[in-house]
C-alpha cells in the first residue's frame, strides 16, 4: 500500500473517531426520580412523554426513570440532584419548599376552594416561581399538582378534638404542616413517606393525609377505615430539572424538553383530577367510610385551620407575596360572581 493510500485511510479513521465521539457526546439522558409507582397515571404519562422526546430529538435526548421511590423520598432525591447523581424529579410541596420555602404558601389549608382557583394562582405566579427556582439552580418545567388532600384514619375525624386525640403522621422535615398542626394544638409524628405504611401496620400512627389516588397507590387505604369528606388543603406539585444538566443541552433539545413537559404535565393534571374522583369511589368500594362533619364542626375545623395558616404565613412567608395571593383570589372570586 502506497503512502498516499495509508494517509487517506488514517484520515478516514481519525474522522470516523471524531464523528463517533461527537455523536456520543450529543446524546443526553435525563435521570428522573419520582415516588410514583410504575403503572400509575403519572408514570404512564411520563413514559408517553419520553417516547415523544426521543422521536422529536432523533434519539439525542431521553429520560431514564427511577419510579416508586427507589431513589429515596423527595429530600433524598434533592441531595442526589445536588451531586448530579439524579437530574430531575417530580416533587410535592415538601421537596419544592426545601429549595424555595415561599412556594409552600400555596399549600396553606383552605386557601383554594376549587381546582379553578388553584389553576388561576399557579398560572399567575408561574413566572415569579420559575425565576426564583432558576436563581437556586433549578428549572421549573411546570406544575404537576398532588391535588386536594384528605384525612384518612382508623377512627372517625369529625371535629378538632378528634384530630388532637389521633396519632397523626406528618411528613418529616415539613415545617409548614408541622407548624399548622401545632398551631391547631395537634401533636404529630414525623416520618418519611416511605415509612408510613409500616408505621400504620404496627400502630405507630393511625391517621394520615393524602389525595385519594395517593392513598390507593401507596396502599395506605388498606390500614385505615375512614376518610374525611372535606379536603384540608390543595397540595402543590411540580417538576424540577437541575439547571446544571439543563444548561448542557443544546437550545433545540432544551426547547423539546420544555414543551414536552408543559404539554404532558397539563395532561397529567387533567387525568389526575379524574383519577382522584374515581379513587374516592374505589376507596368506598374497599370498605372506607366517608365521614361528613356537621356544619358547626366543619366551621370550627376550617376556622381553626385558617387562623393557624395566617399565623404561620406571617412568620414564614414574605408579607407582600401572601397579600398578592389573597388579592388575586379575591379578584378572581369577584369576577366569578359577576
Please say if the pLDDT value at position 4 is more than 70: no
CA dihedral for 115, 142, 283, 158, sign (positive or negative) = negative
Average pLDDT over residues 326-334: 94
Asked if residue 46 lies in contact with residue 32, where contact means CB atoms within 8 angstroms, the answer is yes
Containing 96, the helix (H) or strand (E) segment is: helix 93-99
Question: What distance in Å separates the CA atoms of residue 282 and residue 155, rounded to the nearest whole number?
Answer: 19
Give the residue with greater pLDDT, 52 vs 171.
52
Asked if residue 167 lies in contact with residue 206, where contact means CB atoms within 8 angstroms, the answer is yes
Question: What distance in Å separates the CA atoms of residue 249 and residue 61, rounded to the nearest whole number?
Answer: 9
Say if 334 falls within a structural domain: no
Helix, strand and coil in the chain, % to nearest 5: 60, 15, 25
Please say if the pLDDT value at position 5 is more than 80: no
Question: What values do phi and psi take at 108, rounded to 5?
Answer: -60, 140
Asked if residue 77 lies in contact with residue 86, where contact means CB atoms within 8 angstroms, the answer is yes
**What total of structural domains would you count in the chain?**
1
Say if 5 falls within a structural domain: no
Please say if the pLDDT value at position 303 is more than 70: yes
Containing 164, the helix (H) or strand (E) segment is: helix 160-165
Q: Pick from 93, 117, 101, 95: which is nearest to 321 by CA?
A: 101
pLDDT tens digits along 78-121:
999 999 999 999 999 989 999 999 999 999 998 999 999 999 99
Residue 246's pLDDT is 98
**In sequence order, what are the residues at sequence separation of 6 or more whose Cβ sits closer than 8 angstroms to the Cβ of residue 220?**
152, 196, 197, 200, 208, 210, 214
If one counts every other C-beta atom within 10 angstroms of the C-beta of residue 220, the result is 19
pLDDT band at 1 (very low <50, low <70, confident <90, very high): low
Question: What CATH number should be reported for the domain holding residue 44?
Answer: 3.40.190.170
Say if 338 falls within a structural domain: no
Residue 316's pLDDT is 87
Helices 295-316, 175-183: inter-axial angle, 10-degree rounding:
130
Q: How far is CA 128 from CA 20, 225, 283, in A?
A: 42, 41, 38
Please say if the pLDDT value at position 322 is more than 80: yes
Name the average pLDDT for the chain: 90
pLDDT tens digits along 231-275:
999 999 999 999 999 999 999 999 999 999 999 999 999 999 999
Q: What percent of the chain has pLDDT over 90?
A: 73
Say if 280 falls within a structural domain: yes
Average pLDDT over residues 26-42: 91
Q: Pick from 87, 85, 301, 305: which is nearest to 183 by CA?
A: 305
Say if 48 falls within a structural domain: yes
Residue 25's pLDDT is 52
DSSP per-residue string spanning 18-33: HHHHHHHHT-EEEEEE
Say if 275 falls within a structural domain: yes
Say if 323 falls within a structural domain: no
3 state DSSP class of 132: helix
Domain span holding position 93: 27-317
User: What's the alpha-carbon Rg for the chain, to the nearest Å?
Assistant: 24
Say if 19 falls within a structural domain: no
pLDDT band at 337 (very low <50, low <70, confident <90, very high): confident
Amino acid at each position: 500500500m502506497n503512502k498516499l493510500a495509508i494517509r487517506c485511510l488514517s484520515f478516514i479513521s481519525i474522522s470516523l473517531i471524531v464523528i463517533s465521539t461527537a455523536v456520543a457526546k450529543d446524546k443526553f439522558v435525563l435521570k428522573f426520580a419520582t415516588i410514583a409507582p410504575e403503572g400509575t397515571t403519572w408514570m404512564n404519562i411520563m413514559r408517553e412523554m419520553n417516547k415523544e422526546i426521543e422521536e422529536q430529538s432523533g434519539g439525542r435526548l431521553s429520560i431514564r426513570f427511577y419510579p416508586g421511590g427507589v431513589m429515596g423520598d423527595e429530600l433524598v432525591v434533592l441531595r442526589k440532584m445536588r451531586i448530579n447523581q439524579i437530574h430531575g424529579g417530580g416533587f410535592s410541596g415538601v421537596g419544592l419548599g426545601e429549595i424555595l420555602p415561599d412556594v409552600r404558601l400555596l399549600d396553606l389549608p383552605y386557601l383554594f376552594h376549587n381546582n379553578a382557583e388553584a389553576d388561576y394562582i399557579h398560572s399567575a405566579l408561574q413566572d415569579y416561581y420559575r425565576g426564583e427556582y432558576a436563581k437556586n439552580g433549578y428549572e421549573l418545567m411546570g406544575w404537576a399538582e398532588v391535588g386536594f388532600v384528605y384525612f384518612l384514619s382508623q377512627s372517625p375525624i369529625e371535629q378538632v378534638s378528634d384530630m388532637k386525640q389521633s396519632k397523626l403522621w406528618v411528613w418529616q422535615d415539613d415545617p409548614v404542616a408541622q407548624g399548622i398542626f401545632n398551631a391547631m394544638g395537634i401533636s404529630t409524628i414525623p416520618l418519611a413517606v416511605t415509612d408510613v405504611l409500616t408505621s400504620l401496620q404496627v400502630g405507630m400512627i393511625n391517621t394520615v393525609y393524602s389525595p385519594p389516588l395517593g392513598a390507593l397507590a401507596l396502599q395506605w387505604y388498606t390500614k385505615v377505615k375512614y376518610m374525611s369528606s372535606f379536603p384540608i388543603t390543595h397540595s402543590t406539585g411540580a417538576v424540577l430539572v437541575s439547571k446544571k444538566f439543563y444548561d448542557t443541552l443544546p437550545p433545540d433539545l432544551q426547547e423539546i424538553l420544555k414543551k414536552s413537559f408543559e404539554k404532558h404535565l397539563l395532561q397529567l393534571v387533567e387525568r389526575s383530577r379524574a383519577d382522584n374522583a374515581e379513587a374516592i369511589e374505589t376507596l368506598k368500594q374497599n370498605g372506607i367510610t366517608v365521614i361528613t362533619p356537621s356544619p358547626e364542626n366543619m366551621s370550627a375545623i376550617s376556622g381553626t385551620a385558617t387562623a393557624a395558616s395566617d399565623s404561620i404565613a406571617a412568620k414564614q412567608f414574605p408579607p407582600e407575596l401572601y397579600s398578592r395571593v389573597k388579592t388575586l383570589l379575591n379578584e378572581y372570586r369577584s369576577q366569578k360572581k359577576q
